[in-house]
C-alpha cells in the first residue's frame, strides 16, 4: 500500500479523498504539507499541521467537556469511525479514563440507546432473513481475512436482558478492547450481531428499534441458523477465532459445548469471567492467607458466570489435591428459588446439577451465609444492592478477612458498592467489583478496590490463541491465564487492598497471558504454527501500535 503511494509523481485527489474516508488510513490534521500535496487534499483540511500528540490532547479535552458518559461514548465512537489510529492512541494513553467510557459501565446505556445514537455501520448484522446465504453475507465484509470475531445474539446484554439488535455495542466494544489492551490489529477484527428477534415487547413496539420486528427464534430454527453461521465462519474465515458474547443461559453452555471443538471459540461470560474471578480469589488469599482448596464459596446467581467460575475453581482445586466431588462441594449457589440443593422440588438447569448438594432448603442469602459459613461471597446475579449491611456484617463476623466480589455489570446492577463493602466490614473486606469504583477513604486508610473485569483475561487469551493459531481454546488456557494474572499483582497493589494489577499495565498483562496461552497450545499439540524461540518476544512483535502511516 505505502509503496504505491510513494510512487506517485503527482497529486491523486481521488485516492486522497478515499484515504480521508478510511478510518485506518486517515490522519486528519496530522497529514504533513508534502502528504497533502501528494494526495491532493491540501484544500480539504485546515492549514495547520498537528502532531498526533497534539491531536490526542485536543480529543481528550473534547471528551472531558462532554456533560455525561453517553455523550462521551458518542464522541469516542465518532472518533473511531473517522480516525482509528488517533482513537486507539487516545485510549491507550488514558486507559483508566477511557475503558469505562468505551465499555462497562457506559456500554450498557449505549446499548439501550443504540437505535437512537446509531451513526455509521460497524460490523455485520446477520438476520434470520439471510438463512441459506450467511457465507455470502460474511464475504461482503470489506476487510479480507478476519481473524477475530465477537458475536452476540443480544439475548443477555450485561445485566440488562434481551436487547436484540441493540446488543451490537457489545461486540464493537469488546473488539476495541482487544486492540487497545492486547494489540490485536483492528483490520482483522469483526463484530457480528445475529439478529434472531427479541422478546422485549417495548422494543418490538418502539418506533426506532433497528432489528427485525419478530419474537426471538427458538428450537430448531435457532439451532439451524447458528449451525449455518459457524460453518460459514469456518469456510470464509478459516483462521478466525470466535468469541461468543452475551448469549442467554439456555444457549450459552450448549453452544460452547457444541462448537468448541468445531472451530476455535470461547464464551467470555463463562470462561473469561471464571478466570478473572479465580485470579481474584488467588490474589485475595495473598492478603488473608489460606489455600484455595480450603475456601468455601457462595454464589449469588446461578447463571453462566457463576457456574463458569465454579467449574474453573474445581479444576484449580483438583490441582491442589482435591477430588472433583470435594472441589465441587466447596461451591454453593443461591438462585431465585433459594439454595441450589438436591430434591428442591424444581427441575434444575443442566449447568446447576453438579453443584446441587445435600442440604435442607434455604430461601434467603442471609440464611445461606449463616448456614454455610462461606469464606467468599461472589455476586453474579444482576440484583442491585443484594449485599446489604446485614450481609456484609455477617460475612465479617464469620471471617477475619471476608472475600466479597460484587461482579454484576453495569454499575447499576452491582450487588454493593466499594464504599459500602469497606464501611460495613470496618475495612476488613477483600473486595472486587465488575464495574469500576474509585478509592475509598475509611478511618485514615485509602482502599483501592480491584475491578474483576474480564478485560484482564479475554484480550490476552485471544491474542495467545491467535499467535499460536490454536485449533481449540481449552479450559487449561483459562486456568493458565488466571494464574498468570494473579502472579502479576504487585506488593503495592496488595498493600492498597487491590487484588488485580493496575489497569495502566494492561498491555503487559495481556502479553504475559498471551504467552502462557500460546505455551499451552504448543505443549498440547494444538498450535498450527511452529513454536518460536521466544514466545513473549514473538507476540510482542505482533502487537498493534497506533502510529500513522507515512504517505510520502
For residue 408, is pLDDT > 80?
yes
Task: State the pLDDT at residue 178.
Answer: 98
Give pLDDT tens digits for 229-250.
999 999 999 999 999 999 998 8
Main-chain phi, psi angles of 193, to 5 degrees? -110, 125
472 near 526, Cβ under 8 Å? Answer: yes
Pairing of strands 297-300, 376-379: parallel
Helix, coil or strand: residue 180? helix
Which residues, including other chains, have CB under 8 Å from residue 469's CB and lie 6 or more apart? 239, 527, 528, 529
Task: State the pLDDT at residue 278.
Answer: 98
> Does residue 356 have a cis peptide bond before it, meaning omega lies within 30 degrees of 0?
no
267 near 304, Cβ under 8 Å? Answer: yes
Task: State the pLDDT at residue 10.
Answer: 55
Average pLDDT over residues 242-260: 95
Distance from C-alpha of 462 to C-alpha of 245, rounded to nearest angstrom: 13
Distance from C-alpha of 456 to C-alpha of 451, rounded to nearest angstrom: 9
Task: State the pLDDT at residue 486.
Answer: 97
For residue 109, is pLDDT > 50?
yes
124 near 193, Cβ under 8 Å? Answer: yes
Distance from C-alpha of 28 to C-alpha of 39, rounded to nearest angstrom: 13
Task: State the pLDDT at residue 77.
Answer: 97
Residue 231 C-alpha cell reads as 460453518
Residue 432 pairs with which residues in a beta bridge? 405, 450
Q: What CA–CA distances, in Å, run from 183 to 168, 187, 245, 454?
A: 22, 11, 20, 16
Average pLDDT over residues 56-62: 98
Please state the separation of Cα 301 from the chain's center in Å: 19
Higher pLDDT pick, 159 / 24 = 24
Pick the closest to residue 365 from 384, 387, 349 (CA basis). 387
- Give the catalytic positions in this structure: 103, 174
Beta strands in 311-375 (DSSP E): 331-335, 338-339
Residue 493 host element (H or E): helix 491-495
Task: State the pLDDT at residue 304.
Answer: 86
HSE value, Cβ hemisphere, 13 Å, CA-based, for 10: 0
Task: State the pLDDT at residue 139.
Answer: 98
Residue 45 C-alpha cell reads as 483540511
Residue 5: pLDDT band with limits 50, 70, 90: very low
Task: State the pLDDT at residue 74.
Answer: 96
Instruction: DSSP letter for 376, please.
Output: E
For residue 12, is pLDDT > 80?
no
For residue 80, is pLDDT > 70?
yes
Distance from C-alpha of 231 to C-alpha of 149, rounded to nearest angstrom: 14
Percent of the chain with pLDDT over 70: 98
Distance from C-alpha of 408 to C-alpha of 305, rounded to nearest angstrom: 9
What is the number of other CB atoms lying within 10 angstroms of the CB of residue 15?
Answer: 17
Helices and strands (DSSP H and E) totals, the chain: 25, 14
What is the number of other CB atoms lying within 10 angstroms of the CB of residue 350?
Answer: 11
- For the chain, domains (ranges, CATH) are 2-101 (1.20.1370.30), 102-263 (3.40.50.10380), 271-455 (3.40.50.720)
Grid cell 494464574 — which residue? 483
For residue 115, is pLDDT > 90?
no
Give pLDDT tens digits for 283-312.
999 999 999 999 999 999 998 899 999 999
Average pLDDT over residues 195-213: 95
Distance from C-alpha of 422 to C-alpha of 431, rounded to nearest angstrom: 8
What is the number of other CB atoms lying within 10 angstroms of the CB of residue 128?
Answer: 15
Residue 443 C-alpha cell reads as 478511618
- Quote the mean pLDDT of the chain: 94
Residue 411 C-alpha cell reads as 454499575
Distance from C-alpha of 275 to C-alpha of 434, rounded to nearest angstrom: 13
Give pLDDT tens digits for 394-407.
999 999 999 999 99
For residue 251, is pLDDT > 50?
yes
Sign of CA dihedral 90, 94, 99, 100: negative
Average pLDDT over residues 104-127: 91
Amino acid at each position: 500500500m505505502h509503496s504505491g503511494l510513494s510512487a506517485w509523481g503527482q497529486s491523486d485527489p481521488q485516492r486522497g479523498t478515499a484515504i480521508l474516508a478510511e478510518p485506518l488510513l486517515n490522519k486528519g490534521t496530522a497529514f504533513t504539507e508534502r502528504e497533502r500535496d501528494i494526495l491532493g487534499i491540501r484544500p480539504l483540511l485546515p492549514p495547520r499541521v498537528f502532531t498526533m500528540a497534539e491531536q490526542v490532547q485536543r480529543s481528550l479535552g473534547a471528551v472531558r467537556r462532554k456533560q455525561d458518559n453517553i455523550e462521551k461514548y458518542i464522541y469516542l465512537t465518532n472518533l473511531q469511525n473517522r480516525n482509528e489510529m488517533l482513537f486507539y492512541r487516545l485510549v491507550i494513553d488514558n486507559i483508566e479514563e477511557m475503558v469505562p467510557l468505551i465499555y462497562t459501565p457506559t456500554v450498557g446505556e449505549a446499548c439501550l440507546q443504540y437505535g437512537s445514537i446509531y451513526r455509521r455501520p460497524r460490523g455485520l448484522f446477520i438476520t434470520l432473513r439471510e438463512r441459506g446465504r450467511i457465507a455470502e453475507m460474511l464475504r461482503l465484509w470489506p476487510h479480507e481475512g478476519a481473524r477475530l470475531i465477537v458475536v452476540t445474539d443480544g439475548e443477555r446484554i450485561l445485566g440488562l436482558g434481551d436487547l436484540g439488535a441493540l446488543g451490537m455495542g457489545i461486540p464493537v466494544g469488546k473488539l476495541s478492547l482487544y486492540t487497545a489492551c492486547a494489540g490485536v490489529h483492528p483490520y482483522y477484527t469483526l463484530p457480528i450481531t445475529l439478529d434472531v428477534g427479541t422478546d422485549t415487547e417495548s422494543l418490538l413496539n418502539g418506533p426506532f428499534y433497528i432489528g427485525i420486528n419478530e419474537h426471538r427464534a427458538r428450537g430448531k430454527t435457532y439451532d439451524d441458523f447458528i449451525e449455518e453461521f459457524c460453518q460459514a465462519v469456518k469456510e470464509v474465515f478459516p483462521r478466525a477465532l470466535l468469541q461468543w458474547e452475551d448469549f442467554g443461559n439456555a444457549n450459552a453452555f450448549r453452544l460452547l459445548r457444541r462448537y468448541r471443538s468445531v472451530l476455535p471459540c470461547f464464551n467470555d461470560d463463562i470462561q473469561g469471567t471464571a478466570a478473572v474471578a479465580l485470579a481474584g480469589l488467588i490474589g485475595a488469599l495473598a492478603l488473608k492467607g489460606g489455600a484455595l482448596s480450603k475456601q468455601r464459596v457462595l454464589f449469588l446467581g446461578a447463571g453462566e458466570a457463576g457456574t463458569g467460575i465454579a467449574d474453573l475453581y474445581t479444576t484449580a482445586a483438583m490441582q491442589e489435591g482435591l477430588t472433583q466431588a470435594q472441589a465441587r462441594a466447596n461451591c454453593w449457589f443461591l438462585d431465585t428459588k433459594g439454595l441450589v440443593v438436591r430434591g428442591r422440588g424444581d427441575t434444575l438447569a443442566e449447568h446447576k446439577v453438579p453443584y446441587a448438594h445435600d442440604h435442607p432448603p434455604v430461601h434467603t442469602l442471609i440464611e445461606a451465609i449463616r448456614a454455610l459459613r462461606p469464606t467468599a461471597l461472589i455476586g453474579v446475579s444482576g440484583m442491585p444492592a443484594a449485599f446489604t449491611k446485614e450481609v456484609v456484617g455477617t460475612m465479617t463476623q464469620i471471617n477475619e478477612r471476608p472475600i466479597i466480589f460484587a461482579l454484576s455489570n453495569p454499575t447499576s446492577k452491582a450487588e454493593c458498592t466499594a464504599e459500602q463493602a469497606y464501611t460495613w466490614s470496618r475495612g476488613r473486606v477483600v473486595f472486587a467489583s465488575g464495574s469500576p469504583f474509585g478509592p475509598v477513604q475509611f478511618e485514615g486508610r485509602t482502599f483501592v478496590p480491584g475491578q474483576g473485569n474480564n478485560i484482564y483475561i479475554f484480550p490476552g487469551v485471544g491474542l495467545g490463541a491467535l499467535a499460536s493459531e490454536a485449533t481449540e481454546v481449552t479450559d487449561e488456557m483459562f486456568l493458565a491465564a488466571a494464574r498468570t494474572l494473579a502472579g502479576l499483582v504487585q506488593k503495592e497493589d496488595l498493600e492498597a487492598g487491590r487484588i488485580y494489577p493496575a489497569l495502566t499495565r494492561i498491555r503487559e498483562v495481556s502479553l504475559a497471558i498471551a504467552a502462557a496461552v500460546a505455551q499451552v497450545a504448543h505443549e498440547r499439540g494444538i498450535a498450527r504454527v511452529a513454536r518460536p524461540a521466544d514466545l513473549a518476544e514473538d507476540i510482542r512483535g505482533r502487537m498493534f501500535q497506533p502510529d500513522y502511516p507515512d504517505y510520502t
